[in-house]
Copies of this chain bind each other. A is one copy, B any other.
């Protein structure tokens, strides 16, 4: 890995695929077709894109049982334990409706209600990750969402990956359909004869899925359009180079466009990590992907001091941030922008990918400046509660009407004044 000194600002090379005009057109056509032809369109596209002709889109109870049986007891136990940790962390986020009252008898507040129905997209093939099923489903479950609909493209054998189905069962998915791509997003957003539409769609996918989510945004809610994975390690000379290198590579193996960055105050560490990355990458099964990612997007940036280093991290707003320094909690306090912050050498990033409990669906591409990890708030919406007492009304009616007239909205003023003509009730 190349080592550089921090220049004026740290402008990170990142790659977000915005899609071509042709891809956008293709996605619009698919959505139009699904809205028009429903299931027939889903079956057609599944034949065309996934190379399989299905009798039924819905995954049967028997298929789920078979999938569960295909996993070892140990594998099921690990998925279950991860699910329990994720449930626990997300249940702590559940918020209650609240009100305030005052001595006039006025009541103001927020009523919190879970969404009715959520769709979870799970990619197929090698990207069919059970952890992704857990991370996208369980915040919705914790929020109290009753209907959770999973969609995923079938393999050529017409089946979904066993680990994905087993995770779906453990996570509490209520319906699973074998359909993927833009057609699955269209079905979730607008409904077909068998798939009842949902209120929000979450989960990662390829460029067609991302473009389809962007198209349906507004008609339903979506989570975010995720870019390639990113890790920044903020380290001083207390860090161990082999561990830092291994963590950088754990992101690099995801995607040739993944972005792994070390920001450090130690030139010695920088040099050691650079050498370690070169050594370790050669031994990885996915070394082609990891090496391409490190070459194109990997960076080691050496800073004069920790203040400068923290400034660089806040400028990056990385998806994952590891802090491996003396006084790492003090350093953490100064971080304003990061999706997830891993503190200390035992908080290796994969700890959070699978197991600890916090979500692995995180803001990429600098959007940690304004976005949050997927969380329970994403599945609970608020309604304002306004109950004015007669006393409060009479105290303030004149002022409210005057405000309305200041804005030139006479009917608003008269709505207030219409209460003057009547005394208490009928």
Q: Interface of A with B (CB < 8 Å)?
A: 74-75, 78-79, 81-82, 89, 92-93, 98, 100, 106-108, 110-111, 113, 115-116, 126, 129-131, 163, 199-200, 217-218, 220-221, 225, 238, 240, 242-243, 245-247, 249-250, 252-254, 280, 284-286, 290, 329, 332, 335-359, 362, 367-373, 375, 377, 381-390, 392-393, 396, 399-404, 406-416, 418-419, 421-422, 425-426
Task: List, in ascending order, chain B residues with CB within 8 A of A252's CB.
Answer: 411
Docked CA distance A107–B374 (Å): 19
Main secondary structure of the interface of A (DSSP, over half): mixed
A129 touches which one: B390, B407, B416 (CB < 8 A)? B407
Task: List, in ascending order, chain B residues with CB within 8 A of A342's CB.
Answer: 386-387
Task: List, in ascending order, chain B residues with CB within 8 A of A425's CB.
Answer: 238, 345
Asked whether, in the complex, the Cβ of B384 is within 8 Å of the Cβ of A359, the reply is: yes
Asked whether, in the complex, the Cβ of B221 is within 8 Å of the Cβ of A371, the reply is: yes
Task: List, in ascending order, chain B residues with CB within 8 A of A250's CB.
Answer: 409, 411-412, 414-415
Docked CA distance A415–B416 (Å): 65
Asked whether, in the complex, the Cβ of B384 is within 8 Å of the Cβ of A362, the reply is: yes
User: How many protomers of this protein does the assembly include?
Assistant: 2
Asked whether, in the complex, the Cβ of A381 is within 8 Å of the Cβ of B386, the reply is: no
A242 touches which one: B93, B110, B336, B418 (CB < 8 A)? B418
Ordered by A's residue number, 10 sampled pairs between the chains whose C-beta atoms are within 8 Å are: A221-B367, A245-B418, A253-B412, A335-B383, A343-B385, A346-B393, A350-B404, A353-B412, A368-B383, A377-B377
